[in-house]
Amino acid sequence: MGLNRPAPRKGNKSAAPARKPKLAAGVEARMAATAALQAVLVDHRATEAVLEATDGPFYKLDPRERGLARALLGTALRRHGQIRDALGRFLDKPVPKKSGPLAAILDIAAAQILFMDVPDHAAVSVAVDSAESDRDARHFKGLTNAVLRRLTEQRDAILADQDEIDLNTPDWLFRGWAKAYGTETARAIAAAHVLEPSLDITVKSRPDYWAEQLGGIVLPTGSIRLIAHGPIEALPGFAEGEWWVQDAAAALPARLLGPVEGKLVADLCAAPGGKTAQLAAAGAIVTAVDISEMRLARVRENLERLHLKVETVAADVENWTPDVLFDAILLDAPCSATGTIRRHPDVAFLKRPADIAALADLQFRLLTKATELLKRGGTLVYCTCSLEPAEGEAQIHRALGTLPLALEPVAPADVGGIDSICRDGFLRTLPSDLPQEEPRLSGLDGFFAARLRKL
Ligand SMILES: C[S@@+](CC[C@H](N)C(=O)[O-])C[C@H]1O[C@@H](n2cnc3c(N)ncnc32)[C@H](O)[C@@H]1O
């Protein structure tokens, strides 16, 4: 198989305009996934930014190729420790610096050989062709072929010998989770991170009806859960604006505000707007604030599809001075996002311990400002999608000692009756929560939320 060799077109004698050669199915997806993996691991770019970049490797892919490219990239990131360990068994020294995309080519091929249901020969031959087509990687074409062939031969023995939790989890994150939740739970969190997550949906109404339409189940919290496949836009009810994609744990903080119909509610740090949509659908008069005008455009786009109305404000919450005080405030503060590694495995590579400390400072300043914007007696929900107590529990312990706030404990009745996610009066969900018989329907993003009343 050649990367750039189109099949000869028979019987076409006229001088046709030059066309881009058509590549075999799956080749473009593998090339895009390789480029994206390099962008994440070498240039430290977030996957979402790479996926959305109009000049990026994913933009021009058709939906099928894009689906495959996403799956390749996701597997290569989720299982990266195992992949590098397996490849290392056949390499006597690290991949040289001047070998272009060689490391990413090997990673993407190994992800397929070790973990995906695709023919080995397709994985190996596309990798060899990709190496050949790059000026620097070309010198390692023979090595690529030899290493990957040996990997196909020894796959089962290697997988049986690996500790997936140990290999795929950065040490500093594992140590923090073991300290906060115990070693057994930290292992369960890490085990949840290698699984492909479910698709969770929040509906405006009629969860049972939509679960049936979508082929999903209704969770005790009211979210619908299904095994993701195919483009989301093609699912029933999407175009009509009946529902939006939102992890089941991410749907809980807005509910902690209780009935909000007719109340003035500020949604601080609102984009892309999952929680804004919940508040608007519940009848609140919502002001959605975000520092990023570009991300606020996404909020407006999402709410238009959902036929919901809110006021949007592009502002840094720290400097925002509205004319009114609010009855209720939701502060979904920017955070390390370590609770979303299941859905965004790049987070494990992009975040560093120093980021947590810097974010914790910002979160406390935002919490202080949110308290100022609230009426006396009003309710404030603070939340983060982080597993790190410094971004959750520790912030509230500090706030209770210094800001005019009292804790209104979260009870199981607030969160679908699930006792295990109410810890010390806080909402604390973990990726290992909500186990189901079908692993692809298990888990929750790691969220923290506290409900506070202004004194
Ligand atoms: C965790 S995301 C919010 C997710 C959103 N609440 C939802 O449910 O879809 C954090 C958001 O905070 C915004 N942000 C970060 N710093 C901010 C600040 N100082 N003021 C306002 N927004 C900020 C970011 O642009 C980002 O959109």
188 is an annotated ligand-binding site residue: no
Average pLDDT over residues 221-250: 94
Query: What's the rounded Cα separation, in Å, for the pair 306 and 280?
Result: 10
Question: Ligand 1 centroid vs 146 CA: distance in angstroms?
Answer: 47
What pLDDT digit, counting tens, does each position of 199-211 carry? 999 999 999 999 9
Question: Ligand 1 centroid vs 377 CA: distance in angstroms?
Answer: 25
Q: Among 282, 330, 279, 273, which residue's Cα sits nearest to residue 305?
A: 273
Task: Please state whether the peptide bond connecting residue 8 to the residue before it is cis, i.e. omega within 30 degrees of 0.
Answer: no
Residue 120's pLDDT is: 94
Answer whether 139's CB lies under 8 Å from 99's CB. yes
Residue 15's pLDDT is: 42
Residue 422 appears among annotated catalytic residues? no
Query: What's the rounded Cα separation, in Å, for the pair 168 and 349?
Result: 10
Query: What's the rounded Cα separation, in Å, for the pair 254 and 382?
Result: 10
Phi, psi of 394 (to 5 degrees): -65, -35
pLDDT of 431 higher than 80: yes
Average pLDDT over residues 136-143: 95
What pLDDT digit, counting tens, does each position of 265-277 carry? 999 999 999 999 9
Among 269, 318, 367, residue to substitute to test ligand 1 (most atoms within 8 Å of Cβ): 269
Residue 23's pLDDT is: 56
pLDDT of 219 higher than 90: yes
ipTM (interface predicted TM) = 0.99
Q: Model confidence at 2, in pLDDT bands (50, 70, 90)?
A: very low
Domain 248-454 has CATH 3.30.70.100: no
What pLDDT digit, counting tens, does each position of 366-383 carry? 999 999 999 999 999 999
What atom of ligand 1 comes closest to residue 334's alpha carbon? 10
Greatest Cα pair distance, the chain, in angstroms, is 83
Average pLDDT over residues 441-447: 97
Cβ-proximal residues to 395 (8 Å cutoff; 6+ apart), any chain: 360, 363, 364, 367, 382
316 is an annotated ligand-binding site residue: yes
Residue 186's pLDDT is: 98
Question: Ligand 1 centroid vs 268 CA: distance in angstroms?
Answer: 7
* Residues facing residue 289 across a β-bridge: 268, 313
- Closest residue by CA, ligand 1 atom 1: 334
- Closest residue by CA, ligand 1 atom 10: 334
Q: Per the residue annotation, which of 335, 383, 385, 422 is the catalytic one? A: 385
pLDDT of 424 higher than 50: yes
pLDDT of 6 higher than 60: no
What atom of ligand 1 comes closest to residue 272's alpha carbon? 9
What pLDDT digit, counting tens, does each position of 313-330 carry? 999 999 999 999 999 999
Q: What is the CATH architecture assignment of 27-165?
A: Orthogonal Bundle (1.10)
pLDDT of 422 higher than 90: yes
pLDDT of 80 higher than 60: yes
The mean pLDDT value of the chain amounts to 93
- Closest residue by CA, ligand 1 atom 19: 316
Average pLDDT over residues 155-163: 98
Question: Ligand 1 centroid vs 219 CA: distance in angstroms?
Answer: 27
Can you give the pTM of this predicted structure?
A: 0.91
271 is an annotated ligand-binding site residue: yes
332 is an annotated ligand-binding site residue: yes
pLDDT of 19 higher than 60: no
Q: Where are the domains of the chain?
A: 27-165, 248-454
* Residues facing residue 427 across a β-bridge: 422, 449
What atom of ligand 1 comes closest to residue 320's alpha carbon? 20
